[in-house]
């Protein structure tokens, strides 16, 4: 094994893969160390399997609304065996593709545990590897709530490997991960209760968009209990029992904790004391992704950026260019679009702020005329007369439209010019222009 490199990246998820490929493409000698499966959280336990499951749930949700209105026959059932096989095949094909691209780029891939033994030094497979630049791309892991019996709860990692669907489940946590798990499994046929200690769900999104998303979840049949921190979780004969307080309990086959994530920092060993963390508990970095330990950089979910795959990929490439090519500034987080894959999706880009001009409208889509559940649509524009700086959407296709909105906002369009663009009739897109 070679022991000297220009850069060593620890972690083969979205950020680490992006850094390694681009750094090698710029002529650097790079080693990538991954203790698990290539692709990290996004490919193996996150975005990709979630989106595949959501695709099935979305189809069932649409069909179910038409069935309940009497326009379609019985809602089809999910063949979980085939779905799991399709999921496994897709994930393996992605991992194989990554492996091939790393090989073509000349990246040395080492599949084993790594440990930093000193600045610029990584120990793996009994060898000490050296590089002037070490890049942490170790990602994060789900954390469980602090309550009695929390170890009985499952996490999003577990959910996305289920091979059978529960008849009932409780989700603890009202962020986008918890809401996605709730919406998807409600559409797949489970009786779902969501419990959150916040006053509403989807707190990552602006209030009015989130409230429409919450009402759509409730219309889907999801019971939402807000402002409540569960006290204990116990095993009972027919599943699990979640105690909300001394008098109130909920029973379900499965309880899922979606109560946040924490960075994977074990690789730092004794050096962890020299690496400063932000108030959010992730690694603090500067504009060049460098930590408080010189020569140590961090990208992806372990760093103090947005924990989103597109950000991780962009930051990995940006760091590679900063170190081995022409300088590039990190992408501005205010321009990053994001979506909660509930039903219908909630999408947003920009940061709606108090005191800015904000135009919005909630409407009933034409599809409600033939569906029994009648989800609501929503759009909102934030900014000033001189520039629109945020777009919020709730509706079918919001996950695609919000990305295009993000590209539009880079040019800071003014409201008057936006009025010149006409939407497609009859869709949500025409509403802001009417």
| Structural domains of the chain, ranges and CATH numbers in brackets | 7-46+81-141+262-333 (3.50.50.60), 150-259 (3.50.50.60), 344-433 (3.30.390.30)
Cα 1 to its chain centre, rounded Å, is 36
Asked whether the predicted pLDDT for residue 186 surpasses 50, the reply is yes
Q: Whole-angstrom Cα distance, residue 366 to residue 375?
A: 10
Report, as an integer, the average pLDDT of 384-400: 91
Asked whether the predicted pLDDT for residue 387 surpasses 90, the reply is no
Q: pLDDT (tens digit, 9 = 90+) per residue, 49-59?
A: 999 999 999 99
Angle between helices 14-25 and 309-324 (to 10 degrees): 30
Query: Which SS3 state, helix, strand or coil, does residue 266 take?
Result: helix
Asked whether the predicted pLDDT for residue 77 surpasses 50, the reply is yes
Kindly indicate the confidence band of residue 428, based on its pLDDT and cuts at 50, 70 and 90.
confident
Q: pLDDT (tens digit, 9 = 90+) per residue, 40-76?
A: 999 999 999 999 999 999 999 999 999 999 999 998 8
- Looking at the DSSP bridge assignments, the partners of residue 257 are 172
Give the model's pLDDT for residue 272. 95
Q: pLDDT (tens digit, 9 = 90+) per residue, 8-32?
A: 999 999 999 999 999 999 999 999 9
User: Do 291 and 276 meet the contact criterion of CB atoms below 8 Å apart?
Assistant: yes
Percent residues over pLDDT 90 in the chain: 83
Asked whether the predicted pLDDT for residue 151 surpasses 70, the reply is yes
Higher pLDDT, 386 or 316: 316
- Looking at the DSSP bridge assignments, the partners of residue 4 are 130
User: Do 344 and 360 meet the contact criterion of CB atoms below 8 Å apart?
Assistant: no
Asked whether the predicted pLDDT for residue 353 surpasses 60, the reply is yes
Q: Measuring CA to CA, which residue among 50, 54, 46, 45 is closest to residue 344? A: 54
Report, as an integer, the average pLDDT of 78-83: 95
Asked whether the predicted pLDDT for residue 411 surpasses 90, the reply is no
Which residues define the annotated binding site for FAD?
A: 51, 301
Asked whether the predicted pLDDT for residue 94 surpasses 60, the reply is yes
Q: Whole-angstrom Cα distance, residue 135 to residue 8?
A: 6
Q: Whole-angstrom Cα distance, residue 116 to residue 298?
A: 14
Region label for 281, one of left (φ > 0), alpha (ψ between -120 and 50) or beta (otherwise): left
Asked whether the predicted pLDDT for residue 354 surpasses 70, the reply is no
Q: Measuring CA to CA, which residue among 262, 252, 261 is closest to residue 194? A: 252
What is the chain's mean pLDDT, rounded?
Answer: 94
Q: pLDDT (tens digit, 9 = 90+) per residue, 246-269?
A: 889 999 999 999 999 999 999 999
Is-cis flag, bond preceding 395, omega within 30? no
Asked whether the predicted pLDDT for residue 385 surpasses 90, the reply is no
Query: Which SS3 state, helix, strand or coil, does residue 78 take?
Result: coil
What are the residue ranges of helices labelled H in 69-175?
80-105, 156-159
Give the model's pLDDT for residue 434. 44
Question: SS3 letters for 337-372?
Answer: CEEECCCCCEEEECCCCCCCEEEEEEECCHHHHCCC
pTM: 0.94
Query: Which SS3 state, helix, strand or coil, does residue 7 take?
Result: strand
22 phi and psi, to 5 degrees? Answer: -75, -40
Kindly indicate the confidence band of residue 128, based on its pLDDT and cuts at 50, 70 and 90.
very high
DSSP state of 429: G
User: Active-site residue numbers?
Assistant: 425
Q: Whole-angstrom Cα distance, residue 18 to residue 314?
A: 8
Report, as an integer, the average pLDDT of 407-425: 82
Tokens of 137: 């791309």
Query: Which SS3 state, helix, strand or coil, does residue 308 take?
Result: coil
User: Do 271 and 116 meet the contact criterion of CB atoms below 8 Å apart?
Assistant: yes
Asked whether the predicted pLDDT for residue 235 surpasses 80, the reply is yes
Q: Whole-angstrom Cα distance, residue 10 to residue 113?
A: 9
Which residues define the annotated binding site for NAD(+)?
A: 173-180, 260
Q: pLDDT (tens digit, 9 = 90+) per residue, 274-300?
A: 999 999 999 999 999 999 999 999 999
C-beta neighbour count of 52 within 10 angstroms:
17
Instruction: Give me the DSSP letters along 148-217.
Output: BTGGGSB-HHHHTT-SS--SEEEEE--SHHHHHHHHHHHHTT-EEEEE-SSSSS-TTS-HHHHHHHHHHH
245 phi and psi, to 5 degrees? Answer: -160, -165
DSSP state of 26: T
């Amino acid at each position: 094994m070679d022991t000297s490199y220009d850069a060593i990246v620890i972690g083969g998820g979205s950020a680490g893969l992006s850094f390694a490929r681009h750094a090698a493409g710029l002529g650097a000698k790079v080693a990538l160390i991954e203790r698990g499966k290539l692709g990290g959280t996004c490919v193996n336990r996150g975005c990709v399997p979630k989106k595949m499951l959501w695709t099935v749930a979305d189809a069932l949700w649409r069909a179910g609304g038409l069935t309940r209105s009497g326009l379609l026959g019985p809602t089809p059932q999910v063949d979980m065996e085939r779905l799991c096989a399709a999921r496994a095949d897709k994930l393996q094909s992605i991992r194989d593709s990554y492996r091939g691209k790393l090989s073509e780029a000349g990246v040395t891939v080492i599949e084993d545990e790594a440990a930093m033994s000193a600045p610029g030094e990584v120990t793996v497979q009994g060898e000490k590897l050296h590089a002037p630049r070490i890049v942490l791309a170790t990602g994060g892991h789900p954390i469980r709530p602090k309550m009695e019996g929390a170890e009985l709860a499952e996490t999003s990692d577990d959910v996305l490997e289920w091979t059978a669907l529960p008849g009932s489940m409780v989700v603890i946590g009202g962020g986008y991960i918890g809401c996605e798990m709730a919406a998807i499994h409600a559409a797949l046929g489970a009786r779902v209760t969501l419990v959150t200690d916040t006053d509403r769900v989807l707190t990552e999104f602006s209030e009015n968009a989130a409230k429409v998303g919450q009402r759509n979840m409730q219309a889907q049949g999801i019971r939402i209990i807000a402002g409540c921190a569960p006290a204990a979780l116990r095993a009972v004969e027919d599943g699990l029992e979640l105690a909300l307080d001394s008098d109130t309990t909920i029973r379900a086959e499965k309880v899922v904790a979606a109560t946040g994530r924490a960075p994977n920092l074990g690789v730092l060993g004794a050096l962890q004391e020299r690496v400063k963390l932000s108030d959010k508990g992730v690694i603090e970095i500067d504009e060049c992704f460098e930590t408080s330990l010189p020569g140590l950089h961090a990208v992806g979910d372990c760093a103090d950026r947005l924990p989103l795959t597109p950000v991780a990929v962009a930051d990995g490439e940006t760091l590679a260019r900063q170190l081995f090519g022409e300088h590039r500034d990190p992408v501005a987080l205010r321009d990053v679009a994001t979506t909660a894959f509930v039903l219908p999706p909630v999408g947003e880009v920009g940061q709606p702020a108090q005191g800015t001009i904000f135009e919005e409208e909630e409407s009933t889509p034409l599809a409600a005329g033939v569906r029994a559940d009648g989800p609501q649509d929503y759009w909102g524009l934030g900014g000033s007369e001189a520039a629109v700086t945020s777009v919020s959407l709730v509706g079918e296709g919001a996950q695609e439209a919000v990305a295009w909105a993000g590209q539009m906002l880079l040019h800071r369009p003014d409201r008057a010019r936006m009025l010149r663009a006409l939407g497609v009739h009859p869709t949500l897109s025409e509403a802001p222009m009417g």
